[in-house]
Amino acid sequence: MGNARPGEAGPGSGPGRPVGGEGVGVEELLARAGNGFEVGDEVLERLTTALMAHTELASFRQRKGPPRKLSRRTLRHNYLLRDGSSLVLWEIEHNTGPGGDRRHEVYEDQVSMAAAQYLIDARFGDPSPEELEAEAAEWLARLPELAALELPQCPRQYTEEHSADHAWRVLRRAENENAPGERMRRLLLSAIGHDIAYVTGRHLRTCGRVVGWTLYEHAFLLATGEEVSLWEIEHTMNPEGRPVCEVYEDERVACDTADGRLEGLQG
C-alpha cells in the first residue's frame, strides 16, 4: 500500500508494538486477522503516528456444547495518535467456524463489528436450560462483588470531523414515527464533535431465524460545551427480517420499546 509500517511510532518501539500502555500493536493485530486487508489506506496512514495503545474487553460469550465448546470475545483497541486524537479498531476472536480453529477479524467501525458479531453469535444457537441455570447462578454469586465495584468514568473520544453531518445521517435513517424531530435537528447543527458507542443488545431464535436488537449511543458535543445523545436501535424484528434503524432521545424508551417488540415475538 506504500504506507509506513503502523505502530512504528518512535525510537525504542519495536515493529507493531505500542510505545506505551497495555495494548496490542497495530501490525500484530493486522497480522493475525484474517481480514486485515480490509482496513483502509486512510486508517493505516493515521495509525503510522500511533504513540500508545490500550486494549479492553468489550464483550464475551461462550457455550460448552455440544457438539463442542464455542467462544467469542470482542476487543476494543484504542490508539492514541501524535496529533492528540485517537482511533479505534475492533477485533473479534472466535472459534465458531468449520473445524473449530480460532480466528481473528478486525473492523474499523462499530457498525461493521456488530454485524459480524451478530452472525457469529447466531452460530451459538439457543442456550440449554442447564447453561441458563449455570449462568444465572454465576451472576447471583457475583452480585455482592458487582454491587461494591466502582467503575471508572471513561472520557469520551470525540471525533471532530463532520459531526453535524453525522447527526443528520442518524436522524435521516430513523424509521420510527416518534423519532426526534425538528427541534433536535436544529440543536445538532452546532455539533462540533461526536462519539459512537455500543451499549447493549438482545437476540433470540424464533420461527427458524435469529432476531434481535442492538443499541448504540451517538453522543454529540455542541459548540456551547453541552453534550447531547441520540439512542439508535438496529433490529431485524419485522416479517422480512431486514435491518431497521430507530432513533430515540431517551435510552430507557429505546430499550423498553425494543424489548417489548422482542417479547411480543416470543409470545
pLDDT digits (tens, 9 = 90+) for 119-136: 888 887 766 666 556 655
Residue 266 has what pLDDT?
Answer: 67
Give pLDDT tens digits for 241-253.
Answer: 778 889 999 999 9
Residue 154 has what pLDDT?
Answer: 60
Q: Give percent above pLDDT 70 in the chain.
A: 76
The three grid cell numbers given for residue 245, joined into one nine-digit string: 434503524
Positive/negative CA dihedral, 76, 199, 117, 95: positive
Give pLDDT tens digits for 38-77.
Answer: 898 999 999 998 888 888 888 888 877 667 788 899 998 9
Residue 6 has what pLDDT?
Answer: 42
Mean pLDDT of 80-90: 86
Residue 89 has what pLDDT?
Answer: 92
pLDDT band at 81; cut points 50, 70, 90: confident
Residue at 43: amino acid letter? V
User: Are 39 and 8 in contact, with CB atoms under 8 Å apart?
Assistant: no
Give pLDDT tens digits for 22-32.
Answer: 567 888 999 99
Residue 33 has what pLDDT?
Answer: 92
Residue 105 has what pLDDT?
Answer: 95
Angle at 99 between CA 241 and CA 243, to 5 degrees: 15
Residue 153 has what pLDDT?
Answer: 57
Mean pLDDT of 94-107: 90
> Given a cut of 80, is residue 231 above it in pLDDT?
yes
- Choice between 3 and 163, residue whose per-residue pLDDT is larger: 163
Angle at 30 between CA 27 and CA 36, to 5 degrees: 150
Show contacts of 179-188: CB within 8 Å, 24+ apart. Answer: 179/246, 179/247, 179/248, 180/230, 180/247, 180/248, 180/249, 184/228, 184/230, 184/249, 187/222, 187/228, 188/164, 188/220, 188/222, 188/228
Mean pLDDT of 170-190: 93
CA distance 250 to 9: 41
> Given a cut of 70, is residue 209 above it in pLDDT?
no
Find the DSSP H helices in the chain. 26-32, 41-47, 110-122, 129-148, 163-172, 182-187, 251-266
Contacts of residue 124, Cβ cutoff 8 Å, sequence gap at least 6: 61, 63, 70, 72, 96
Mean pLDDT of 100-114: 89
Angle at 71 between CA 145 and CA 264, to 5 degrees: 80
pTM (two decimals) = 0.48
Strand-pair category, 50-63 with 70-81 = antiparallel
